[in-house]
Amino acid sequence: MSMARAQQLAAHAIGEVLNGHNLSDVLVQVMQHPELSAADKGALQDLSHGSLRHLGLLQQLVQQMTKTLPPAEIGYLLVIALYQLHFTRNAAHAVVNEAVNHARQLHGGRYQKLVNALLRRFLRERETLLASALKQDEARYNLPAWWLNYLKKHYPQHWHNMVTAMTQHPPMTLRVNRRHTDAQQYLAKLTAAGIPARILDTHSIMLQQAVAVQKLPDFAAGHVSVQDFGAQQAIPMLNPQNGERILDACAAPGGKTGHILEWADCDVTALDIDPLRLKRVQDNLQRLQQQAHLHCADAKELHSWYDNNTFDAILADVPCTASGVVKRHPDIKWLRQPQDSRKTALQQEALLDSLWQTLKSGGRLLLATCSIFMEENQQQLTHFLTRHADARQRQSRVLLPDSKQDGFFYALIDKI
């Protein structure tokens, strides 16, 4: 794939995101093109993720170099080219030439001179332009103003570290299957395979650099899974026990489902509303050589799946804004709106109230989100405890985004 083609597809992806579409969905469509090789797909993913990760800065650079903003397609192209010039090792002359060539095909070529002039100006005046752009908070922190203000209000002592972490490239972290080995023994296998890594916990390892899963020793045999370190904290908190009947209420893609079955010999029911995503749960369990009862259903619609046999424990990994995982999904920063967390909190409320009916007295429910918005986390927990007289909070944890993990919230609730 030529650089011009990569720029074109990445610019298209950025445009789709800014028009309200999820990047993962956009890339699934784009990458179906038969001419794209594995290397092409990797390059396209880097361009789209990277430019969205730094979109605040890149858009500010475009704005301050133009008196009148060009048409959207030209703006997206400039964002991609500026990302290449500032954040990648692509040859500057090639980036500029290919961007100009692509601009020639848009709007009758009226903006090719503008694209050429702006990109060359950036190369000449990079430091001055960057210094000016970084005076704007949205460019400096690559977050919409409302989101940044929210973090400053609710995390006054942590917001700066959080937004710094949210702009970083996510690490590749492994969950070692305790049924087979531990972190120390698996690290030795990685070292023998020439894959540098370090231990985070007894069954958690962080790679120095991401690799294809096929290169991980015994990956196909289920000895290890790729899972964020913060996401790995859910199941130890739920602490499944042998013989328990456990519900994973929003299971896809199956990382936590598999972790439950690695932890103890349980009878697990896994639900998901999306049949394609539920297939991913099945695939993950098959690789781990584990089994669960899978149901494609809306978890809050009890009549469609519940057999009136109560559960000992429930993992309620409820739908949320995913505001804690923007390192892996940078499009979320630009897709979410200020009112979204309140909307999802209402959806969570209905789901949790339904699930509570399926939990036996003496059982426990783990409320889990990958959000850093209070409405979906602490406030949700408080409201739930107020509504249910038979609910008692045992413990809760807020995991903030940092160099090791994404952002999560966990609350373990006992049913008395």
- Specify the pairing of strand 173-176 against strand 224-226: antiparallel
Q: Do 398 and 367 form a contact (C-beta atoms < 8 A)?
A: no
Beta bridge partners of residue 18, listed in sequence order: none
Contact of 264 with 288, CB cutoff 8 Å: no
Distance separating alpha carbons of residues 316 and 251, to the nearest angstrom? 9
Per-residue CA distances from 209 to 88, 107, 380 (Å): 17, 41, 37
**Would you give the distance in Å from CA 382 to the centre of its chain?**
26
Whole-angstrom distance, CA of residue 119 vs CA of residue 96 = 6
Helix (H, G, I), strand (E, B) or coil at 197: strand
Measured between alpha carbons, how far is 229 from 407 in angstroms, rounded to an integer?
10
Q: Which of 11, 204, 199, 203 is nearest to 105 (CA)?
A: 11
Active-site residue, selected from the candidate residues 250, 266, 320, 370: 370
Is 370 one of the catalytic residues?
Answer: yes
CA atoms of 313 and 363, how far apart (whole Å): 6
Active site residues: 370
